[in-house]
């Protein structure tokens, strides 16, 4: 109920963020018979777009049913996080209740959790896969080998990778730790080497088969449709700039040759895993608390690596670490009670707070909130709207007046275009496609087709080649004069100007006849 109250305004909030805008556009495109990656292109595996396509098919081009789905996914994530605490970390009922509160608070309002992105989908899939895989291991020790839970876990992990490939390092670390736990717990006196090998092969086949079938079927489908190259670029290529390939590592202001920040982060993850594994497995007696610390340490480390892989510090990336962070916070609270000195107690509090504050600052400029959703706008504006003190449009405009004004400017687009028309977007407003219910002129939607540094002559020639009838130029753009000249010299004439708030748009039309 608390989560529902916190999230209620999001069910009615701004209709399109940029990400949701082009997911909606891709969903509509797929329903029109277009093929993903060949006819319309983005840089993630298919599952996210299929969800938007299904919503578009059932409910039409609206975001609000998907906001409700986002809420339900958050509820599932919280419940699965608690289940991980209970079944894997052996939290008591009281500790589980504390975990429920912590996980709810972290998943209630922060880090763009209200907007449907890949993270909202793959996080509960990973948690579900982790629980099922662990249950299969426990069952092996207690009742003997049973492939069903391993197969279900493999299927959930496979679906997580089918949402975003950055899940692979996290899943890999979790599997290595759980398999290591299984090996440690095997009584070699009760099991022969041949039975261990046989059961190991059977377990591997049961776990890997769902993922192999899913990805093999996907590859065959796109090969059969002649779009393997586009599929590979979309899923593996990450549009060329998703991963921080070129962020050179710096120490005390001096560049470190041959090292990037991702290489440094990867070395740190490997070092943490190697050192912690060494000290764990060299112990003669391994306690549950040691295993739990080992799991949480490496899980948190790999999640930090995953969310910093991209050069784009978007808040929703942080959702990947929320389950591990929730579990770490409660684990530290539990151990705080048994710490012997105040120095230990202080370290248990200060260290995670330092980590959390740095993560918050990295992803949200220190505010901890997505910039649209300030408390005053999100809650105050919502209450003002439902109480009749302001209109719905006034509330929506308070989130981001710039995007709202752009939406007003689209009125002329709607008048002059048809649903079958395409739009060529120069700049960074992909929500235009969803708002006008028109398709992009290029299949590349994630790069907004033309960026702000594109050569004006090349852009105009592309527009003319595709018989673009109308072109609108934001007069505040630094390239507006350059584009006006290019349009005029390529058969376009300025018809009029359109003023929305304080922004003037130049309307050019292709001269025919």
For the segment 111-152, what is each residue's pLDDT rounded down to a tens digit? 678 889 999 999 999 999 999 998 888 777 666 667 889 999
What local confidence, expressed as pLDDT, does residue 460 receive?
Answer: 86
Length reported for the chain: 513
- What is the torsion angle, in degrees rounded to the nearest 10, for the CA atoms of residue 3, residue 7, residue 11 and residue 12? 150
d(CA 419, CA 408): 18
Q: Residue 371's pLDDT band (boundaries 50, 70, 90)?
A: very low
Q: Which residue has the higher pLDDT, 427 or 165?
A: 165
Select from 159, 142, 172 the least CA-distant residue to 301: 172
Are residues 152 and 135 in contact, defined by beta-carbon separation less than 8 angstroms? Answer: no
CA-CA distances (angstroms) from residue 403 to 5, 98, 431, 460?
27, 40, 9, 25
Band of residue 366 on the pLDDT scale cut at 50, 70, 90: very low
Domain boundaries, the chain: 396-510
Q: E strand or H helix at 239, and its extent?
A: none
Residue range 453-486, pLDDT digits in tens: 677 888 888 888 877 888 888 888 788 888 899 9
Judge whether residue 63 has pLDDT over 70: yes
Q: How confident is the model at residue 206 (pLDDT cuts 50, 70, 90)?
A: confident
- 82's tokens: 């608690």
- In Å, how far are 160, 177, 278, 364, 424 from 220, measured between CA atoms? 20, 33, 42, 41, 31
- Regarding beta strands 439-440 and 422-423, do their DSSP bridges make them parallel or antiparallel, or are they unpaired? parallel
pTM, two decimal places: 0.85
**What band does 293 get if pLDDT is binned at 50, 70 and 90?**
confident
Q: Which of 50-64, 188-202, 214-228, 263-277 has the lowest mean pLDDT?
A: 188-202
Contact 511, 493 (CB under 8 A): yes
161-165, 283-287, 333-337, 350-354, range with the lowest pLDDT: 350-354
pLDDT (mean) for 252-256: 57
Q: What is the 3-state secondary structure (H, E, C) of 366-416?
A: CCCCCCCCCHHHHHHHHHHHHCCCCCHHHHHHHHCHHHHHHHHHHHHHHHH
Query: What pLDDT does 163 receive?
Result: 94
Q: pLDDT tens across 15-30, in order?
A: 667 788 889 889 988 9
Average model confidence (pLDDT) across the chain: 79
Does the pLDDT at position 9 exceed 70? yes
- pLDDT, tens digit (0-9, with 9 covering 90-100), for 50-62: 999 999 999 988 8
Element (H, E) at 495: strand 492-500
Higher local confidence (pLDDT), 283 or 356 = 283
CA distances in angstroms from 480 to 211, 370, 402, 494, listed in the order given: 49, 31, 18, 13
* Percent of the chain residues topping a pLDDT of 70: 73
pLDDT band at 409 (very low <50, low <70, confident <90, very high): low
Residues 6+ apart with CB under 8 A from 436: 410, 413, 414, 417, 423
All residues at 6 or more sequence positions from 26 whose CB lies less than 8 Å from its CB, including other chains: 36, 40, 42, 49, 52, 53, 445
Residue 254 CB partners (closer than 8 Å, separation 6+): none
Is a pLDDT exceeding 70 seen at residue 154?
yes
Match 């995670």 to its residue by tokens: 352
CA atoms within 13 A on the CB side of 32: 17
Report pLDDT for 235. 82
For residue 399, what are its two tokens?
């989130």
CA distance 71 to 73: 5
Helix (H) or strand (E) holding 54: helix 47-59
Q: Taking residues 488-509, what's their average pLDDT?
A: 84
For the chain, percent of residues with pLDDT exceeding 90? 23
The predicted-structure confidence for 426-460, as pLDDT tens digits, reads as follows: 666 777 777 777 777 777 776 556 656 677 888 88
CA distances from 439 to 145, 340, 418, 434, 456 (A): 52, 64, 10, 8, 22
Question: What confidence tier does 223 reach under pLDDT thresholds 50, 70, 90?
Answer: very high
Name the pLDDT band for 240 (thresholds 50, 70, 90). very low
Q: Which of 401, 424, 440, 513 is nearest to 473 (CA)?
A: 424
Kindly state the tokens that stand for 246: 């070129």
Q: Which residue has the higher pLDDT, 48 or 187?
A: 48
Judged against a pLDDT cut of 80, whether residue 512 lies above it is answered with no
**180 to 134, 152, 173, 196, 345: CA distances (angstroms):** 12, 20, 11, 14, 30
CA distance 452 to 447: 11
Ordered alpha helix ranges (H), 225-260:
228-232
């Amino acid at each position: 109920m608390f989560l529902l109250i916190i999230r209620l305004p999001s069910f009615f909030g701004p209709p399109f963020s940029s990400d949701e805008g082009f997911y909606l556009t891709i969903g509509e495109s797929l329903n029109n018979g277009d093929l993903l990656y060949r006819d319309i292109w983005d840089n993630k595996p298919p599952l996210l777009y299929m969800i938007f396509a299904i919503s578009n098919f059932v409910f039409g081009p609206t975001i609000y049913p998907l906001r409700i789905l986002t809420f339900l996914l958050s509820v599932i994530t919280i419940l699965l996080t608690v289940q991980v605490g209970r079944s894997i970390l052996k939290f008591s009922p009281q500790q589980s209740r504390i975990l429920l509160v912590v996980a709810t608070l972290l998943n209630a309002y922060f880090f763009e959790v209200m907007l449907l992105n890949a993270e909202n989908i793959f996080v509960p899939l990973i948690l579900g896969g982790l629980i099922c895989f662990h249950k299969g291991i426990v069952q092996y020790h207690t009742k003997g080998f049973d492939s069903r839970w391993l197969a279900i876990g493999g299927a959930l992990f496979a679906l997580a990778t089918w949402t975003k490939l950055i899940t692979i390092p996290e899943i890999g670390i979790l599997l290595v730790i759980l398999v290591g736990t299984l090996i440690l717990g095997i009584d070699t006196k009760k099991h022969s080497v041949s039975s261990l090998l046989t059961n190991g092969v059977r377990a591997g086949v049961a776990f890997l088969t769902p993922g192999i079938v899913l990805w093999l079927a996907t590859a065959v489908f796109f090969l059969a449709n002649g779009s393997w190259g586009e599929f590979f670029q979309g899923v593996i290529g990450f549009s060329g700039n998703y991963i921080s390939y070129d962020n050179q590592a710096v120490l005390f202001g001096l560049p470190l040759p041959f090292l990037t920040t991702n290489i440094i982060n990867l070395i740190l993850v490997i070092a943490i895993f190697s050192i912690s594994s060494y000290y764990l497995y060299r112990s003669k007696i391994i306690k549950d608390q040691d295993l739990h610390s080992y799991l949480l340490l490496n899980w948190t480390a790999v999640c930090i690596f995953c969310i910093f892989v991209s050069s784009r510090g978007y808040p929703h990336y942080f959702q990947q670490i929320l389950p591990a962070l929730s579990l770490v916070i409660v684990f530290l609270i539990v151990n705080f009670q048994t710490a012997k000195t105040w120095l230990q107690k202080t370290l248990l509090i200060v260290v995670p707070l330092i980590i959390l504050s740095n993560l918050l600052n990295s992803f949200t400029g220190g505010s901890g909130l997505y910039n649209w959703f300030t408390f005053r706008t999100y809650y105050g504006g919502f209450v003002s709207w439902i109480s009749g003190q302001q209109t719905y449009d006034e509330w929506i405009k308070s989130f981001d007046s710039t995007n709202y004004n752009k939406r007003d400017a689209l009125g002329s687009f709607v008048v002059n275009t048809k649903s079958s028309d395409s739009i060529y977007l120069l700049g960074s407003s992909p929500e235009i496609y969803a708002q006008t219910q028109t398709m992009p002129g290029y299949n590349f939607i994630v790069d907004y087709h033309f960026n702000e540094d594109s050569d004006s002559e090349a852009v105009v020639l592309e527009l003319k080649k595709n018989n673009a009838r109308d072109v609108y130029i934001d007069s505040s753009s630094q390239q507006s004069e350059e584009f006006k000249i290019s349009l005029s010299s390529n058969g376009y004439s300025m018809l009029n100007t359109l003023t929305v708030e304080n922004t003037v748009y130049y309307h050019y039309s292709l001269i025919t006849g």
